[in-house]
Structure formats: structure tokens, C-alpha cells
Amino acid sequence: MNQNRMILKGNICYSRSLSELRILEPGYLLCEDGICRGALEASGGPEALSEEWRQVPVTDYGGCLIIPGMTDLHLHAPQYEFRGMGMDMELLDWLEQYAFPAEAGYAKLSYADRAYEGFVEDLKASFTTRACMFATIHRESAELLMEKLDKAGLAALVGKVNMDRNSPDILREKSPEESAEQTVQWLERTAGRFLQVKPILTPRFIPSCSDGLMERLRRLQKAYRIPVQSHLSENPGEIQWVRELCPESACYGDAYDRFGLFGGEDCPTVMAHCVYSDRREQELMKERGVWAAHCPQSNMNLSSGIAPVREFLDRGIKTGLGTDVAGGHSLSMFRAITDAVQASKLYWRLVDQTKKPLALEEAFYMATVGGGSFFEAAGFAASGRFEPGQSMDALVLDDGPLRASRDYTARQRLERLIYFDDVRTLKAKYISGKKVSH
């Protein structure tokens, strides 16, 4: 018997498609070497299991719901410490007054050590199993963050940030050469070193990256074949700035594309926000296979607006959800799901009544399958569903603390648990089959 097999039992719920859930009430979840081997109806008892699985120990979670882990497709780890502050500002002011000064602190490794420790601890205790994140420009701090995430058993893509212009002195790399050189050192030290934590190339956004730097990052991307993350079309002021900086670009996305850092073959790319991505930019995203990381809470907090997510979905643009801590103040992906639904309702009501609001199923899909597919493109095992071959990333949820009546359907209980957004309901969390305690 394979010692690396286990079975979880509970009420299983995951996305069959964008608009449909698969529900097993109850079900068995088969796991081998950290990989899901399928989900089976369990109401008939162990008979449903094939002979080779009948001897495998079953962890029975009774009436709990078991759902796939959440993938947070965009957040800033160094901003976690000051989340929920300065929320009366718009993007560019907020960057200058809060984000940049705080990030400068991470030049000191001792500072980063303390701050990242708290962040990783809270991320571990959250509903998130995978996260794609920005660190700061500081090579050693970024490496430290990766070590901490690895030790906590989390799956992550982490970016040492590149920025060599239009930034405060304390947070500006002195030249494109220096920025690129630091990036190479960081890549050499981290690529392939961790089990489930990998580097991702991270030009902060067009305004803070010179053409010279972008050109060097293009070369690094080709050489190391690593994925790319950045920001796109978040705020009107920012977009106008990019227009002035890059008059030759057809759109904001094109300013990345000119340097080969906007998707395409061997360059999985995720762009955060896309609030103002028009038809032309969306078509470019679709063509290049660029992922959109929709961050509704941040887009409200920074008065950015509401991204046209329904258009993304209709157009077939791959879309996930991000908390964008600390533009977003909450680290919770359950909150991101409900924020996405709420924002889509206001978009429908206030902007365009031909754009149907997101159903819970659709936002849930984005938070699991949508984000998970980016990690798959970036070299991880697939995640987000309990299909054979996917990574066994699972959340076990107990709605006891919510005074739940047991008469609710699994679908109703899922909705309640997501809206309640209470980590006390998180009974267990598995990443690649390993139980991550908290």
C-alpha cells in the first residue's frame, strides 16, 4: 500500500464550470503524493472506493464542507503592516504617502524579518493556499519572504520589485543596470530552491520603469523563462501618466507588450486591476493570454472604479481575484469573492445594465480555478478543482460557529460561509496534500 495516500471525507464542493458547482454530499476526496486522485460520491459508504483505496485511512470531517483552496492573484506583502490606513486617498497620493515610505523600511533585513513574519503567519491562517505577490526592490528581503513562505508550507510566486524612475530616492534603483543585476542575483539564489515558492519578474508599473530597465527585464524573462506580474489600467490619473510617458504605445498594455512582457509564448503574465481596459486592451490581453487579477476591494478603497469583469469573462480572458493588500485592507479571499459580486452588481446598476452581475459561482471559480490556472502556467501543479491530477489544496469549513441550521443545502452553506468570512470556520487547510496547521 502506498503510504502517501489519504482520503478526506466531507461535503465536497468545487467548480464544475464557470457557472456550475459540483457537489458531493457527502464525498470522498482521494489524495496521493499531494495530488488529487478524484472526488467520489460517498453516500453509499466505502463500496464506492476501488479495492486499492479501501485500505487507505479516511479523515472524516463529518458535516464540514470541503472546498478547493483560494488563490490570491495579487497582493503586496510589505504593505500588509499598514493595511486599513490612508484609505481616504487615491492611488498616486496613497503610493507617495503610505506605500513608498513603508516599503523603504524593507531595506533593513531585521525590519523585513519582523514584518514578513507577521504577514506569513496571518496568510497561513487565512483561506489562501496560493498567492502571487510583490515584495519590494530589496533582493535580500524578497529572498527572506520566500524562505518564510516556503517554511510555512504555502505556495507562492514572489517578485523582487523593479523600479528605477519616478519613485522617491529611498525606493529607486540607481540605474537599469543595477536593477537588472540585483534581479539576476536574486533569481540565481531563488529559482528552483524552494518546493512551492518561485520567483516572478515584477516591474512595478510603467511609470516607475525606464525603457532601459524594461529592455533588460525582457532579456531576463527570456533567459530564465519566468512569469511576469505588474499593474494595468487601474486609475485614470495613472493611465494619463502612462500616456504621457509612452506616447508611442497604443494602450497601457501595449507599453508592456513592446518589451515582450505582456504574455505570449513562454511568458505567463498576470496584470492587476484592468479597471479601465477598453476593448482594444482587452483584445490584446486575450490574444496574448494575459491573466487579469481583479481586485474589487482595492478598486473601491482607492476610488479607482469597477473593472468590467463580465466583459473579461465573455471575451474569454483568464481572470482571477486578488486582495491587493494594502490597497485592499483585507487578506481574505472570501471577502474578495463577495466584493467581486457586490462590485459587479453596482456596475450593472450604475454603469451598464447589459452586464449581468456575477453569480457567486462565477466569483468562486475566479478565486479557485481562475487564479489556479495562472500558477499552473507558471510551473505549479494545477489547482482550484478536485479533478484527478490537480494539487490537493483544500479548505475544510465548519459552519458551527455561524449557528447554522443543518437544513441548508451545501450551496446555501457555501454562500453563508463565504459571506460570513470568519477564519474561525476554517477547521483545516491542506496544501499539496499537507495539512497546514494554524
Which residue of 77, 95, 171, 300 would you call a contact of a second copy, by CB under 8 A?
300
Name which of 90 and 283 has its Cβ closer to a second copy.
90
Say how far apart CA 152 and CA 120 lie, in whole Å. Answer: 7
Handedness of CA 275, 326, 337, 23 (dihedral sign): positive
Q: Interface with a second copy includes 224 (CB under 8 A)? A: no
Instruction: Please report, for residues 101, 324, 363, the alpha-carbon distance to residue 374 in angstroms, rounded to integers and kept in the order given.
Output: 31, 16, 16
Among 111, 194, 241, 348, binds a second copy (CB under 8 A): 348
Rounded least distance, CB 418 to a second copy, Å: 8
Q: How far is it, in rounded angstroms, from Cα 427 to Cα 438? A: 9
b/e 51-71 (16+ beta carbons within 10 angstroms → b): eebeebebeebeebbbbbbbb
Is 359 a binding residue for a second copy by CB under 8 A? The answer is yes
Instruction: Identify which of residues 393 and 399 has a Cβ nearer to a second copy in the complex.
Output: 399
**Residue 99 engages a second copy in binding (rule: CB under 8 A):** no
CB 145 within 8 Å of CB 187: no
Using CB under 8 A as the criterion, what x/- string covers residues 301-340 for binding a second copy? x-xxxx----------------------xx-------x--
Task: Tell me whether residue 94 or residue 374 sits nearer to a second copy (CB atom).
Answer: 94
# binding residues, a second copy (CB under 8 A): 38
Longest dimension (CA), the chain: 67
Cell of 282: 482587452
Tell me if 125 contacts a second copy by CB under 8 A: no
Set of cell numbers at residue 382: 494545477
Task: Determine if 195 is a binding residue for a second copy (CB under 8 A).
Answer: no
Binding a second copy (rule: CB under 8 A), the pick from 87, 92, 107, 184 is 87
Closer residue to a second copy in complex, CB, 254/422: 422
**Candidates 23-31, 84-92, 178-186, 280-288; binding stretch for a second copy (CB under 8 A):** 84-92
Residue 143 Cβ vs a second copy, minimum distance, rounded to whole Å: 22
- In 3D, which of 129, 16, 130, 66 has the Cα closest to residue 374? 130
Are 367 and 126 in contact, with CB atoms under 8 Å apart?
no
Helix/strand/coil for 426: strand
Binding to a second copy, residues 406-425 (CB under 8 A)? 408, 412, 415-416, 418-420
Residue 436, all three cell numbers = 497546514
Which of 128, 145, 148, 162 is closest to 77 using CA atoms? Answer: 145
Bridge partners (DSSP) of residue 32 are 5, 35
Q: Is 314 helix (H, G, I), strand (E, B) or coil?
A: helix
> In this chain, which stretch among 49-57, 86-94, 178-186, 372-380 interacts with a second copy, using CB under 8 A?
86-94
174 lies in the site for a second copy, by CB under 8 A = no
Shortest approach of a second copy to residue 420 CB, angstroms? Answer: 6
Interface with a second copy (CB under 8 A): 81, 83-88, 118, 297, 300-301, 303-306, 329-330, 338, 341-342, 345-346, 348-351, 357, 359-360, 403, 405, 408, 412, 415-416, 418-420
